[in-house]
Structure 1
Amino acid sequence: MTASQPSSASSLLSNRFVQVILMSTLFLQSGIWVRNIAILFYVKKMTNDDAFAVSLISVAEFAPIFVFSFIGGTFADRWRPKRTMVWCDLLSAVSIIAVLFAMVNGSWKAVFFATLVSAILSQFSQPSGMKLFKQHVPEHLVQKGMSVYQTLFAVFMIFGPIVGTFVYQTYGIETAIGIMGISFLLSAASLALLPRDRQDDRDKQKSQVLEDIKAGFRYVLSSIILRKLGGGFIAAGLGLGLIQPMGIFLITERLGKPEDYLQWFLLVNGIAMIIGGVVAMSFSSKISPQKLLAFGMAVDSLAMIAMGLSTDYWLTLGLQFISGLILPCIQIGINTMILQNTEEAFIGRVNGILNPLFMGSMVVTMMLSGVIKNAISLVPLYVLAGVFFLVGVAVLLPLFKLKGGIQPEPNKAVGNS
């Protein structure tokens, strides 16, 4: 990095795009957390704590990632990114009006529709946001920008449930859903402040959607960096899926504490993520994203194994803090590697291919985690999760040989987008 490339926080935050995208994220996360908590409490109330009905909330939130992620990424590469994001927010707000109308007429199950629609539209909006990040943020500020972005998400992991609970318990489900709609409108208004989409985004060569999809897969397969990153995604998803539903059993069975102690683990994790994001922002320009990612996965793997072995509450809580502290390194490393090693024309499709690899592998082991726990017990389960993360580190190790930062590879056998 040269002296002409300042990487200070003030330089980053003075970037107009960063200011607008953070403002949009602030509004969106406020609405999403109010929605998540309010709908959770509402569905539990309306179904008398039916676990199946509650699980459908997660289905409505995560299923679109499998069905629409690559489709959304493909069209994000074809459409103007700013316009796509604005329209996604506006359509989400319109869907909220339909949900409120249905609820007024007695159909409480319409709350699932609110989650489903916004989750689908996010599969078009999110890759467009990454594309704008590629356009408007200088490369030497990308990793620091991702640090700020992830820190904002960590803040909402702490305060989002508090705000959502307050809104629902004080004002009810209709107000909570209404706040979600207003949040989408405010996000759209914020995004309108972005510079106009580039001319070349409008005048792209028109190709068949199927050809764009094939070109996206060829692009990923032709890049050793993206292939290795995909392998790391799968390993991390398999490991995380194993322990994601098991936290409550770690507390009750391994540590012998009541169920409500889970809230302290979540609180500690959120606080650690905020601290980790700030720390990562301070040194992110001094370490390559592939090393940042591998370091985060290696430390997280050891923390998982130690948490499974520990029988001391305070030690386990400390390990939870370490895990949260390191998580931003993983998230920042992943997003930075994608942005730095993907041509702008392919960012949507690369996201659409890699994200389902992580989510798909995580869901597979989430579904099997209960069966595996019963078969081998809780401790080996956490050890196995840690081993999966170590496998992910091993997959990424060859990228350490790349000197001077990773650059996009030649676009061989890709074809036009």
Structure 2
Amino acid sequence: MAVESLGVSSLFKNRFLATILMSGLFVQIGIWVRNFGVLLYVMDRTHGNAYAVSLISVAEFAPIFIFSFIGGTFADRWPPKRTMVICDLFSGLALSVILGFLSSGAWQAVFFATLASSILSQFSQPAGMRLFKLYVPEEYMQAGMSIYQTMFAIFMIIGPMIGTFVYQHFGIFVCIIVTGIAFLFSAGTLLFLPRDHAETQAVERMSLLFDMREGIRYVLSKRVLSALGGCFLSAGLAIGLIQPLGIFIVTERLHLPQTDLQWFTGINGLAMVIGGVVSMVLAKRIAPHIVLFIGMAVSGLTIAGIGVSTIVWLSLLAQFLGGLVMPGIQISINTMILSHTENAYVGRVNGILNPLFMGGMILTMMVAGALVSWLSIVWVYLFSGMLFCIGLIALVPIFRKHSSALATELGDQA
């Protein structure tokens, strides 16, 4: 695979990227059919019991805290292609076991469909990042990430429709079967990837705990990675504050029926698709740390604007702008992680940084309702915007690093 042949326009023809995108397509179909199938099934079985519905989120997000760092450590120790194939195979086969429980009347088994996939993804996702670093040249990494992220944004729009359609027309059994087949197809697609490099096949002789400690030391020793950790945490805290409150913006601030929330989520998803395409086009022209700075600043301003606004078109515009920069934030963070992390540490770095975001988000989600009662929804949104601004402060070391590197380069040329 010649590096020089990888122009941005030819990225789609790149064997690795095409394979990963096809695998991601199958996984996204499986995830959305499973998520909405399980959600609607639990709603039907429990007559909308809030506790039962909340358990779905627990099954989806709890493994991130428990297994993310462990999964990332193993992803650094194991051959990445084999890890991804085995995880997808186990995801597909585990769902066949769940079908057996459902057939016997144990409907609660659907929770384990989400739990099993979520656990295995903590091993598969960092392995995929390692493969990305191996096979995509650094100068095209931002464009490749943009394509990948755009696919996720598209599924944020069409995924709920696909999952709802399959459940309403065929029921939970077909949802589980479709999900299992999708994961098996993903595993089959990954077989077309190049064989794992010899250096990735060597089995580490150090203990697991030693590798985990080394991962923490590595992140703390890298100024860029530590700064990204601060960004992850502040963004997670900010998003968690407003995550459950969108319905109240629609009903209390804009005095619209709650069903109009769909227009806000829809325009956000559309903006994310457009933002992903724009990020792909501009990937070679704007450095990722600048994209991240702009994205964080715009997110802070638009969130504050949504909280303050009582004008529908202005709120929709702010929602659109916020969605437009979100792919840039995600793409630039992933690009910077891969660019500043040695391949041997990619899994552990992901395993450390991702829980910071999720932990911050869930922490503020728990207190968002109380804060609204204590203050008001306007102040909660303003506070969320401020947290994004605090995240900008964490980026200062990254700008200093790039400024020093540029000064050195100019000095050498003089």
Closer, same or farther: CA 218–286 of 1 in aligned 2, 3 Å:
same
Unmatched runs of 5 consecutive residues or more in structure 1: 408-417
Amino acid at match of 2:282: F
TM-score by length of 2: 0.96
SS of equivalent to 1:196? coil
Taking only aligned residues, the RMSD between alpha carbons, in angstroms, comes to: 1.4
> Aligned partners of 1:399 and 1:202: how far apart in 2?
33
2:115 aligned partner? 116
Which ranges of 4 or more aligned residues in structure 1 deviate by more than 6 Å? 404-407
**Alpha-carbon spacing, 1:353–1:395, altered in 2? closer, same or farther (3 Å):** same
Worse-superposed segment, 20-29 or 311-320: 311-320
Partner of 1:273: 272
Gap change, CA 1:359 and 1:23, over 3 Å in 2: same
User: What residue identity is the alignment partner of 1:40?
Assistant: L
For residues 12-411 of structure 1, what are the structure 2 equivalents within 5 Å? Answer: 12-403=11-402
* Cα distance in 1, alignment partners of residues 112 and 215 from structure 2: 30
Counterparts of 2:403 and 2:342, CA distance in 1: 19
Q: Partners of 2:96 and 2:7 in 1: how far apart? A: 42
What percent of counterpart residues are identical?
Answer: 55
1:351-374 per-position Cα deviation (integer Å, ceiling 9, x unaligned): 000000110011000000000111
CA distance in 2, matches of 1:346, 1:205: 13
Structure 2: unaligned runs, 5 residues or longer: 407-414
Show the counterpart of 1:411.
Answer: none
Name the CA distance, whole Å, in 1 between partners of 2:397 and 2:212: 28
Equivalent residue letter for 1:319: A
Per-residue deviation at 1:192?
0.5
Code of the residue aligned with 1:220 in structure 2: it is: V
Whole-angstrom distance in 2 between the partners of 1:280 and 1:10: 14
Superimposed CA distance per residue, residues 330-377 of structure 1 (whole angstroms, 9 cap, x where no aligned partner): 001110010000000000000000000110011000000000111110
The whole-number CA distance in structure 1 between the counterparts of 2:119 and 2:101 is: 20
Give 1:406 shift: 8.2
Which deviates the most, 109-118 or 283-292? 283-292
Distance 1:139 1:28 in 2: 25
How far apart, CA to CA, are the structure 2 residues paired with 1:401 and 1:241?
A: 29
Q: What amino acid does structure 2 have at the position aligned with 1:343?
A: E
- Aligned residue pairs total 404
- CA 1:7–1:201: 2 relative to 1, 3 Å: closer
- Separation (CA, whole Å) in 2 of partners of 1:329 and 1:147: 8
Counterpart-to-counterpart distance in 1, 2:6 and 2:367: 44
Deviation at 1:6, TM superposition (A): 6.8
Give the secondary structure class of the aligned counterpart of 2:284.
helix
Are the aligned partners of 2:6 and 2:14 in contact in 1 as well (CA < 8 Å)? Answer: no
Report if aligned partners of 2:78, 2:203 keep a CA contact under 8 Å in 1.
no
SS in 2 for 1:168: helix
- 1:340–1:406 Cα contact (<8 Å) kept: no
Asked if 2 retains the 8 angstrom alpha-carbon contact of 1:341 and 1:406, the reply is: no
Q: 1:269-308, CA deviations, whole angstroms, 9 ceiling, x for partnerless residues?
A: 1111010100111111111111111110100100000000
1:356 maps to a residue whose letter is P
Is the Cα contact below 8 Å between 1:69 and 1:123 reproduced in 2? Answer: yes
Matched residue SS, 1:245: coil
Q: Return the letter of the residue paired with 1:172.
A: G
